[in-house]
A and B are shown apart, each in its own frame.
Chain A
């Protein structure tokens, strides 16, 4: 969408050299650059909010010193920046016994997975980098790339903790893709499309047209999807791959400096993607909750980001409340609770569509 839009714009601006391949490259690179900038700013924002929310929950203030106005500034607004600078200027250590090429490859792979998923996230009617007809399928597919990266990271570190972490995360992410997928199947059944924009279009017309309120089964589907999303992004209570009191730091045990920062950032980027998918599929995407109220293209970005951030906030909130599950309980939850209920939901919603819808 956006690529075509920019390409057309460039062609109109310079009619003499219209249709140039160079313009196409610019038209592709510009949104990617914007995306990178967005991820960075978003990363700072979400890390800051994670720190602050956790601090307030724990009766602390969180960082207060690092803010505008040098030392003793207000609210520690620049704390994530300081963290980032610290991580990026740290010594880059590669353990002697590590499998070097794979060790270097792993963080890039996980970041690519997070980044490429972003291009199918719709922020407005026109504001989507590529409007694919299988958008939701694409995001789920690209999201599983992370599994390979995590196994690579765990294996190549040549550390027992990292190996445990890698293996746990592989089992966990692959398993939880099934309930997440099943939940999305229900949405696809309702919207009869894999296209993100069409799913959003199905939910047009305010709060009560959202898929989550479509029929009595949808809240359950949403909860299953959201919890599976937590598991896929390795967030507490499913942070077994990096459970700090058991596995030291799991698959990132041997990573430091920039590489660690990339792992860190991709975790938060994944959170955004999965929350955006949840917001698109269940909460009406960029639609305003009220029909004809602030429902312009500019506001659509606001609605989309605020819905996504609400879900991210819930993720943070859950993280600082509950303890962690054990490996077998995690699998128990997935295979014996979510998948049966998810399949039941598919069945029930199908009947609902035939009978009532």
Chain B
């Protein structure tokens, strides 16, 4: 490496450290660009060590904060709207990354979330159930709007003794199978679901496997479930 090149790289690294990544990405010579980038990474790493590893983590944090702010705004906005439209359904929570609601009016809220022209959540990305302890089961919905490109997460907690949540199967058709899976694994009953059967496990399976207190069956159809394999005591 010539000293000329070294000087160039040093220049670019300084620029990069100052946050000007565009000029580095604009370098035409691929090899030089690669070198600059690797030098930049090195510089950042050593800088991070010197500043007690603050510099390195700051960048993602910043991005995250920005993301969170964006999320917050949509979350807060929806929370406010829910409060107006469906009073008494929102549960205030300290975490701002999701919306916690009561199960009763979930079907109406879901319908509204999908059809309201300022929200248009037309895609249910993921629906999952979780045993959050304290005898509570939770159903979580990750919603996404294809047109407006924003996300929210809705959480509905129910008590284990009466795990009933209105089904949104007729609003987002994919919820059909997602809810069946959650029913299969955690035993949350989705009222109004037209075909609530077990989906992955056999129909005659006992228990709800993903609850935290689930015990493996002793026998299944007369077959003993081995606890320890042979010759492996």
- Determine direct contact between A and B, CB below 8 Å: no
Interface residues of B (CB under 8 A from A): none
Q: What is A's interface to B at a CB cutoff of 8 Å?
A: none
